[in-house]
């Protein structure tokens, strides 16, 4: 039996299959099977209030699970411009998606991932795959199959190895179930790229400051965090850092390269039992927005 056929069989039987995407690795279960979905929450230790993204093979399958796809004319335009790719669209849901997936909300977050192995899996599986990032809740996201093994060992029936993720940070989550399209989580597709396709969007203001309480379930303030105490610093604060038994991640020139390596670097440093990890905060500029968001959530300000 091919690996994909095995993966489909596991999913049909309510099991969990870890899968690669261009953003980070996901932990997949049949989004129409309540028990399979419950297992994902249990394995991750994820609060039941935090809804899961559903992965589908293409736009026409996505439409089956969205009740009001055409509410915004921009929905199809975005799907055509960016799918397969790192943007997740939140839309009114149909009954087939079980309530646990969406944390009892009447909306579902849909995405077509840009990875050949997972597209093959989704085409063979047909249905929607509920797939949070394949890490324990609030811990650093995984960007290789080995990261997933490190995280879960035997608790996951199968890990599909699709190599290192080429984007390296999570998708942009855009809410299209409301009147004004709103970015709920900044990600690999920038606000400017979205606005280039559908015009002005809003940004949910809770995400950028870890100090503000979460307004949307995925915006829990501690997230993406290593086990070692992690601190962020501005370039001008570099002289305040004590690197004894500690390490610093300095800024790179190129946001895409930085994003691709970010979680792997964090995991590597975290395996070295450091007293502290310091991360330089990038400039408050559009091309760094998603990375800034991840750093702010993974760290505290310098004491
Ligand atoms: P992750 O599981 O790490 O990929 O994160 C999924 C993100 O999508 C979280 O920020 C969730 O809160 C968000 N999300 C998923 N479904 C919904 C939904 N129905 N409405 C709003 N946000 C959602
Ligand atoms: Mg996650």
Residues 180 and 145 in one domain: yes
Residues 58 and 122 in one domain: yes
Residues 245 and 192 in one domain: no
Q: Is 215 domain-assigned?
A: no
List b or e across 13-43, with b for residues whose CB sees 16 or more CB atoms inside 10 angstroms: eebbbbbbbbbbbbbbbbbbbeebbebbbeb
Residues 76 and 129 in one domain: yes
Residues 249 and 171 in one domain: no
Question: Of ligand 1's atoms, which has the minimum distance to the CA of residue 102?
Answer: 19
Distance 159 CA to ligand 1 centre (A): 22
Q: Is 10 domain-assigned?
A: yes
107-111 and 87-92 as β-strands: parallel, antiparallel, unpaired? Answer: antiparallel
Residues 48 and 159 in one domain: yes
Give residue for tokens 């993204």.
53
Residue closest by Cα to atom 14 of ligand 1: 51
- Give the CA distances from residue 120 to residues 116, 177, 249, in Å, rounded to whole numbers and listed in that order: 6, 29, 36
Residues 246 and 199 in one domain: no
Q: Residue 303 corresponds to which tokens in the numbers above?
A: 């004491």
Residues 33 and 104 in one domain: yes
Question: Of ligand 1's atoms, which has the minimum distance to the CA of residue 53?
Answer: 15
- Number of residues that this document lists for the chain: 303
Determine the residue of 53, 107, 142, 170 to mutate for testing ligand 1's pocket, defined as the one with the most ligand atoms within 8 A of the Cβ atom.
Answer: 53
pLDDT at 297: 94
Reduced to 3 states (helix: H, G, I; strand: E, B; else coil), residue 40 is helix
List b or e across 246-271, with b for residues whose CB sees 16 or more CB atoms inside 10 angstroms: bbebeeeeebeebbbebbbebbebbe
Which residues partner with 87 through β-bridges?
172
Residues 260 and 124 in one domain: no
Total domains in the chain come to: 2
Q: Is 270 domain-assigned?
A: yes
Residues 185 and 248 in one domain: no
Residues 6+ apart with CB under 8 A from 95: none
Q: Residue 272 corresponds to which tokens in the numbers above?
A: 């070295």
Please state the pTM of the whole predicted model: 0.95
Determine the residue of 27, 51, 290 to mutate for testing ligand 1's pocket, defined as the one with the most ligand atoms within 8 A of the Cβ atom.
Answer: 51
Other residues' Cβ atoms within 10 Å of the Cβ of residue 135: 24
Q: Is 296 domain-assigned?
A: yes
Within a 13 Å sphere around the CA of 272, how many CA atoms are in the beta-carbon half?
14
Question: Of ligand 1's atoms, which has the minimum distance to the CA of residue 93?
Answer: 19
Per-residue pLDDT of the chain (303 residues; tens, 9 = 90+): 899 999 999 999 999 999 999 999 999 999 999 999 999 999 999 999 999 999 999 999 999 999 999 999 999 999 999 999 999 999 999 999 999 999 999 999 999 999 999 999 999 999 999 999 999 999 999 999 999 999 999 999 999 999 999 999 999 999 999 999 999 999 999 999 999 999 999 999 754 444 343 444 445 567 899 999 999 999 999 999 999 999 999 998 899 999 999 999 999 999 999 999 999 999 999 999 999 999 999 999 999
Domain range holding 140?
3-203
Which residues sit with their C-beta closer than 6 Å to ligand 1? 50-53, 90, 102, 105, 107-109, 132-133, 170, 173, 184-185, 216-218
Identify the CA nearest to 203 among candidates 192, 188, 217. Answer: 192
Give residue for tokens 């608790």.
155
276-280 and 246-249 as β-strands: parallel, antiparallel, unpaired? Answer: parallel
Q: Is 221 domain-assigned?
A: no
φ, ψ for residue 297 (rounded to 5)? Answer: -75, -30
Residues 195 and 239 in one domain: no
Distance 302 CA to ligand 2 centre (A): 25
CATH number of 176's domain: 3.90.870.10
């Amino acid at each position: 039996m091919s690996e994909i056929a095995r993966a489909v069989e596991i999913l049909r039987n309510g099991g969990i299959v870890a899968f690669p995407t261009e953003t980070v690795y996901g932990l997949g279960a049949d989004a129409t099977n309540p028990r399979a979905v419950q297992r994902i929450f249990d394995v991750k230790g994820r609060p039941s209030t935090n809804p899961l993204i559903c992965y589908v093979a293409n736009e026409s399958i996505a439409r089956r699970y969205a009740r009001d796809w055409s509410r915004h004319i921009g929905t199809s335009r975005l799907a055509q411009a960016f799918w397969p790719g790192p943007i997740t669209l939140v839309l009114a849901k149909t009954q087939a998606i079980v309530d646990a997936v969406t944390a009892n909300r009447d909306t579902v977050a849909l995405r077509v991932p840009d990875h050949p192995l997972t597209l093959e899996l989704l085409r063979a599986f047909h249905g929607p795959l509920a797939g949070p990032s394949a890490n324990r809740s609030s811990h650093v996201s995984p960007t290789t199959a080995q990261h997933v093994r490190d995280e879960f060992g035997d608790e996951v029936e199968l890990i599909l190895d699709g190599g290192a993720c080429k984007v390296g940070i999570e998708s942009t989550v855009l809410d299209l179930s409301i009147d004004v399209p709103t970015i709920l989580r900044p990600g690999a597709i920038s606000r400017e790229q979205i606005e280039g396709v559908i015009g002005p969007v809003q940004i949910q203001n809770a995400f950028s400051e870890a100090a503000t309480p979460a307004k949307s379930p995925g915006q829990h303030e501690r997230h993406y965090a290593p086990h070692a105490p992690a601190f962020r610093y501005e370039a001008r604060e570099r002289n305040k850092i004590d690197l004894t038994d500690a390490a610093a991640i300095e800024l790179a020139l190129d946001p895409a390269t930085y994003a691709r390596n970010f979680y792997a670097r964090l995991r590597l440093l975290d395996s070295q039992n450091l007293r502290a990890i310091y991360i330089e905060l990038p400039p408050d500029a559009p091309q760094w927005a998603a990375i800034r968001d991840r750093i702010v959530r993974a760290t505290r300000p310098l004491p």
